[in-house]
A and B are shown apart, each in its own frame.
With several copies, the nearest count.
Chain A
């Protein structure tokens, strides 16, 4: 069941100049419902002229004990900049939990989670979930430079981590899609989130190597819950809403590879 609820910002930490980790809890203290990796929240910043619509953000982690949602935010434009400037104690309104979620792998599948830039956001939650379900997730994380790769310590606590940076400041130098692990290891399942060109390249790699692959899309979303039909992706079933039937899609459903 979707809810609209006021949250209080417990903390907002700059991980680098552009990436922020917000931890938020319901203002009314009510226990949060179950949430699943891949789902997102739709965030409203009150009284801002640069944000008319809500802003979708993946659930980076759901800390059930602390009744706290983590949001990993890239300050990309006017709206996210404004959010990044918010301080602990301020309140924000969320609609949540929205969207579908990543599917669980089959038992004993070898799994790789590939995240580019802030696209790692949903993968931390997914990784932790997979770990707790008995899987052994591995991570391939990439960015332009070392500081673009956030929450490395959290990922390292969750599974094996490979990294790439375009400038070589961390891990392999080059594009994430050229990391040797993709050549050397045969994974059974890939989950990925990041810039669209990266995801398309990975989808092609996965399709070519007959690896099951799920991607998380970031189409623009006015409503986030199926009311406006603006967030559509062209799929084999026609134009369908990413906010309700996604954001996670198996690449077989998409028209990325032909």
Chain B
């Protein structure tokens, strides 16, 4: 299985297939369906310094080949994570990566510090792109300066692998990627959800309690793929690509566009075994095309 090994910062992944934050719980939800040790890693739920109740129901609207969500980072806070969740998930035989969120720069830093010393959390993903909370989140991700400042501050308190998750709701995502790379991010992951909206025509009301929410699923794949490719041409750090991946073919496309690794998000809801099916599919593809190492495919789009 060494053929699938990839590195992200100081992290060595068994394979490039990981699951996306907010779509895979803490992994537990999937143990009935798959063997977690077959995954390269798991990005757990968005975590904040303080507990959050998230947004009001309804938080979901189905759309053409996708869905909108406005969960709004519901989680019990980093202390609860340390006391109640970490002891459980640290037993999983895969990389568990925490998705870190905050309303202020100080929040992010404090939340990161709380996680920095955990043996079995080898990396964090700094979410500067959540479209579903009033403060923080995306605000940091849509300007180079604020993204850079945040990464600089977090980098100071965090030595392990620092992944920064980018927002697609920008004119030039490569610019933001360059800004966070310059501040020492080990990797960028993209994309988070697109800000979208759904309306119930008969009721003349928004379908989400928050009016707007984040769009994910196969519908966004073409845009996400383009962004990965643009960022790949701009930065040197490894890219973790995602957005609508629902089978191994999609995964290969993201890898060819420049992703060192990928995350599967929404499709976990529809097919809870999709992530391991993707691992198998990538291997078959590599056999068919005589590819020794997955690294030989990264960015190898022939154009």
Contacts and interface: CB of A to CB of B under 8 A. Distances in A.
B69 A228 contact: yes
B32 A2 contact: yes
Given A54-B269, A238-B53, A229 B59 contact: yes
A223 B57 contact: no
A19 B45 CA distance: 39
Given A222-B67, A227-B29, A52 B56 contact: no
A234 B62 contact: no
Nearest to A79: B62
A223 B268 contact: yes
Contacts, number: 85
A15 to B, nearest CB: 26
Q: Is the interface of A mostly helix, strand, loop or mixed?
A: loop
B43 interface: no
Interface in B60-106: 60, 62-67, 69, 71, 74
Contacts of A229: 22, 45, 54, 59, 71, 74
A44 interface: yes
Contacts of A231: 57, 60
A155 interface: no
Residue among A44, A95, A227 facing the most chain B CB atoms (10 A cut-off)? A227
A160 interface: no
Instruction: Say which size band chain A's interface belongs to.
Output: 20 to 34
B141 interface: no
A64 interface: no
B25 A52 contact: no
B192 to A, nearest CB: 15
Contact of B269 (A49, A222, A239): A222
A30 interface: no
B33 interface: yes
A4 B272 contact: yes
B285 interface: no
B289 to A, nearest CB: 19
Contacts of A7: none
Contacts of B270: 44, 52-54
Instruction: Say which size band chain B's interface belongs to.
Output: 20 to 34
A227 B268 contact: yes
A1 interface: yes
A54 B62 CA distance: 10
Residue among A3, A44, A53, A226 facing the most chain B CB atoms (10 A cut-off)? A53
B143 interface: no
A195 B51 CA distance: 33
Given A1-B32, A239-B54, A232 B65 contact: no
B7 interface: no
B23 interface: yes
Contacts of A95: 272
B93 to A, nearest CB: 20
B293 interface: no
B142 to A, nearest CB: 24
Interface of A: 1-4, 44, 49, 52-54, 95, 219-220, 222-234, 238-239
29 contacts: A4-B33, A52-B62, A52-B64, A52-B66, A52-B67, A54-B269, A219-B57, A219-B58, A220-B58, A220-B60, A222-B62, A222-B69, A222-B269, A223-B272, A227-B23, A227-B25, A228-B60, A228-B69, A228-B269, A229-B45, A229-B74, A230-B59, A231-B57, A231-B60, A232-B57, A232-B59, A234-B56, A234-B57, A238-B53
